[in-house]
Amino acid sequence: LEDQLRAHPLISQAVVVGDAKPFIGALITIDPEAFEGWKQRNSKTAGASVGDLATDPDLIAEIDAAVKQANLAVSHAESIRKFRILPVDFT
């Protein structure tokens, strides 16, 4: 799932979590260069950071579409049910 998520141009990194939990989740970071173009295409403030827009409905919808696409490759039990957009890339 992580590789399928990272294939989306807006996603920089993704970690799927949830071993021994009731559902699978994902922590997702946004590619800075792709984010600039996304902000322009979606009429967002040029100076807005990922942290500023992490709860923006348009950004969430874009990432949700990528998650749904990745989920097509696995069973319902293995699918990502929740995700969070993190403000910075992993180190």
Q: Which residue has the tokens 């009731």?
A: 22
Tens digits of per-residue pLDDT, 23-43? 999 999 999 999 999 999 999
Under the banding of pLDDT at 50, 70 and 90, the label for residue 61 is very high
CATH number, domain of 52, equals: 3.30.300
By C-alpha distance, which of 61, 67, 63, 58 is closest to 85?
A: 63
Residue 91 lies in a domain: no
pLDDT of residue 22: 87
CA atoms within 13 A on the CB side of 47: 0
The predicted model scores a pTM of 0.92
Residue 48 lies in a domain: yes
Instruction: Residue 46: give the domain boundaries.
Output: 2-84
Mean pLDDT of the chain: 96
Put residue 46 in one of left, alpha, beta given phi > 0 → left and psi -120 to 50 → alpha.
alpha
Among 19-23, 33-37, 53-57, which is the least confidently predicted range? 19-23
Q: Which residue has the tokens 């946004």?
A: 30
Domains in the chain: how many in total?
Answer: 1
Residue 28 lies in a domain: yes
Residue 89 lies in a domain: no
pLDDT of residue 19: 83
Residue 90 lies in a domain: no
Q: What does DSSP assign to residue 10?
A: T
